[in-house]
Amino acid sequence: MQRLNSASDGPAALIAATELQAQLTSIEKGIAAAERTPGMLSVADSGLAQASRLLDRIQGNLVASTGNTASPQEKAAMQSEIDAALEALDRLGNTSYSGRRVFTGDSVEFLLGSEPGQTASVNLGEVTSADLGNASGTLSELGSGGEASLESGNGELAEEIIEAARQE
């Protein structure tokens, strides 16, 4: 086997070796990108599971506050819990992986092979209290002073907003 040091050693062989080196580099980059994909998807999955738990907590406080069984002090404490859950949801919206925000509302493309066209995309929506909801309102309306807060007594709107947020 002859070692290639310059084009004068065998131009055709040097071209073939250069092409093979380029393909190898491409494959190595594809493998590295593919290895990062499960990590990002795991972070996104964990974040969405936490968002679901926060929505459960908010909904539980809404249900507990209905009727005349909760005292004003209990309703105020429940509203504080809702406010804390909304703040946690907003922090969750800033989750990042490898320096990139996960929940941007943009489509994220993942390289699946060594060729640029071998990709799959996932759309991870915005996860904040100001973004989740529907035309009637967003989760931020459930916060203190909002149209759907416990103080407003607008439980129907609050339930509608939470259900819409779960669908997003």
Please answer whether residues 164 and 139 qualify as being in contact, where contact means their C-beta atoms are separated by less than 8 angstroms: no
Per-residue pLDDT tens listing for the chain (168 residues): 556 565 566 677 777 778 888 878 877 777 776 777 788 889 999 999 999 999 999 999 999 988 778 888 999 999 999 999 999 999 999 998 888 888 988 887 877 766 677 788 888 889 999 999 999 899 999 999 999 999 998 989 999 999 999 998
65 class by beta-carbon count within 10 Å (0-12 exposed, 13-18 middle, 19+ buried)? buried
- Name the pTM for this structure: 0.78
Please answer whether residues 132 and 47 qualify as being in contact, where contact means their C-beta atoms are separated by less than 8 angstroms: no
- Residue 145 sits at the vertex; the CA angle it makes with 144 and 148, to the nearest 5 degrees, is 85
Structure tokens at 38: 């499960």
Please answer whether residues 31 and 110 qualify as being in contact, where contact means their C-beta atoms are separated by less than 8 angstroms: no
Phi first, then psi, for residue 115 (nearest 5°) are: -100, 145
